[in-house]
Structure 1
Amino acid sequence: MSLTPAQFSQWLTLAVAGQPGVKPVLLDVREPWEFQIASVAPDDSFELVRMPMRSVPARFPELDRQRPIACLCHHGARSAQVVQFLLQQGYDNVVNVHGGIHAWSQQRDASVPTY
């Protein structure tokens, strides 16, 4: 499943309503140099976790299977692969942010640089 950055707030609302007291995760799977260029602003409604795609196979156990996870990359391709990987590992509440941080800048926060 995927959602656009414009749908992210609605996803957060539904995720919290379905699991009160559980904070959703925005999993940014871009490379560290990409984080330096552009990043989602921290927000109390979700936890921002940075885990470059290449590190996910070793680090995915750090992610709580009970928490809703939205995966983000530059345009949405790498994050879609991470979603599929996590689903194969038994995570069942995982979505892809279609369009990635580029679309995030266009649809949610114009202060986020595009690259």
Structure 2
Amino acid sequence: MDDATIIARLRNLGSLPDDSTPAVDDFPLEEFDELVQQLSEPLEPSHSLTLINLGPPRDTSACGIEWSLIHAAEAIPAEALRDVLFDADDTEVRRIIDIRLINYFKNNAG
């Protein structure tokens, strides 16, 4: 299965729910995570944007699966990822990537 097909399937499953809500009980977390694990690098920036937007709401968790999205979305150059964040929704994945990028650029300045 190619990345575009995987992204489409993830999009159809929808955004990760906050694991403190009842919605998490009906969400196919395992299928979602398995699909994310099948992505191959490098990703297209548009795919990274989709992954960021599928994250759980800001300041929440989705049973740790948001970290799979973070690592997959980061499979593009840091400069491209920074540009993608301008169009990203305000998810927990975006919040964490934003922090990581700030640290990356601070440590790699010069």
TM-score normalised by L of structure 1 = 0.29
Say which one has the larger Rg: 2
Question: What is the TM-score with the length of structure 2 in the denominator?
Answer: 0.30
Q: Which has the higher contact order (CA 8 A, sep 6+)?
A: 1
Which structure has more strand as a fraction of its residues?
Answer: 1
